[in-house]
Amino acid sequence: MTFARPVPLSPASFRPMATDVEICNQALVRVGENVVTSLDDDTEASRRCLIAYAPTVREVLRDGQWHCATHRAVLAPLAQKPAFGWERQFLLPADFIRTISLNEADVSDPASDCPLFSVAGPVLLSNVDEARIVYVRDLLQAPAQDPATAPTMERIDPVLESAIVLKLASKLAWAFQQSRILSESLLAEYGEQLKRAWNINSRDAWGRAPGQLSGTQSAWLAHRR
């Protein structure tokens, strides 16, 4: 039996992402607040959104495995060796959020042959001679390298956008209304959105059978059920 090779998504398949104001307004509407025209407005809603927006985006990027936010890099080894415990250290990209794979091995899959490593501040510690990583990048920063191909906030999956809205709304629900019930309800909805994202991303990658997840993905989904 032969299977048709999936057609990879082109950059054009991602619609332009909503602006920070539009994302904040979606979150404000979810908690029953009036919308804003700018995050620089002298209003309580604008001030609260401005404070919460960037940290929330980075939290959501770290929580999920977003193909639209992944990038690749060959890390530069540093001349100075670690003080102890590891043979080498490599400088991480300035836009680094989280490691997905090291030397083509999935770091989240216990069954993979991923080399041992540790992230310590701006460096990756390991005993490997070369470090090639796939990582989740900070979409709020200018690309640290390969700006023409790096994922940015200008081109993003709608599932990620919705997740950011839900996480932000859960914070605003408490900030504006001190409503623990609403905040927890939005967080639960956010968890379901993350589950949906894991499933979608597992179908967007070639190399696993359709629906097959990594070890960590399977464990995470089992825990959520």
* Tokens, residue 36: 């804003």
Instruction: Report the b/e string of 164-173 with b at 16+ CB within 10 A.
Output: bbbbbbbbbb
Residue 183 within a domain: yes
Residue 106 lies in a domain: yes
Asked if 164 and 60 sit in the same domain, the reply is: yes
Q: Which of 38, 122, 17 is nearest to 80 (CA)?
A: 122
Q: Of 105, 137, 169, at which residue does a domain stop?
A: 137
CA atoms within 13 A on the CB side of 109: 15
Domain shared by 110 and 217, yes or no: no
In this structure, what is the dihedral angle of CA atoms 61, 127, 78, 141, given to the nearest 10 degrees?
-10
Torsion of CA 2, 103, 65, 122, to 10 degrees: -170
Angle at which helices 180-204 and 158-177 cross, to 10°:
170
Number of domains in the chain: 2
Residues 116 and 86 in one domain: yes
Instruction: Tell whether 8 is covered by a domain.
Output: no
Q: How is residue 11 annotated by DSSP?
A: G
On whether both 161 and 50 belong to a single domain, the answer is yes
| Residue type at 176 in one-letter notation | F
Task: Determine, yes or no, domain membership for 175.
Answer: yes
179 within some domain: yes
- Which range marks the domain in which residue 74 is found? 68-137
* DSSP state string for 168-194: HHHHHHHHHH--HHHHHHHHHHHHHHH
Looking at the domain assignment, is residue 11 inside a domain? Answer: no
Q: For each of the chain's 225 residues, which pLDDT tens digit applies?
A: 433 333 333 444 444 456 899 999 999 999 999 999 999 999 999 999 999 999 999 999 999 888 889 999 999 999 999 999 999 999 999 999 999 999 999 998 888 889 999 999 999 999 999 999 999 999 998 776 677 777 777 777 899 999 999 999 999 999 998 899 999 999 999 999 999 888 877 666 555 433 334 444 444 444 444
The amino acid present at 139, given as its one-letter code, is L
- Structural domain includes residue 2: no
Torsional class of 60: left (φ above 0), alpha (ψ -120 to 50), beta (otherwise): alpha
Q: What is the pTM of this model?
A: 0.79
Question: Are residues 131 and 161 located together in one domain of the fold?
Answer: no
| Residues 175 and 205 occupy one common structural domain | yes
59 and 162 part of one domain? yes
Contacting residues for 44 by C-beta, under 8 A, at least 6 apart: none
pLDDT at residue 110 in the model? 84
One domain, residues 61 and 72: no
Which of these, 162, 207, 148, 189, lies nearest to 66 by C-alpha position?
162
**Are 45 and 94 contained in the same domain?**
no
pLDDT at residue 168, as a whole number: 98
Same domain, 219 and 164: yes
145 lies in a domain? no
Rounded to whole angstroms, how far apart are CA atoms 72 and 62?
Answer: 16
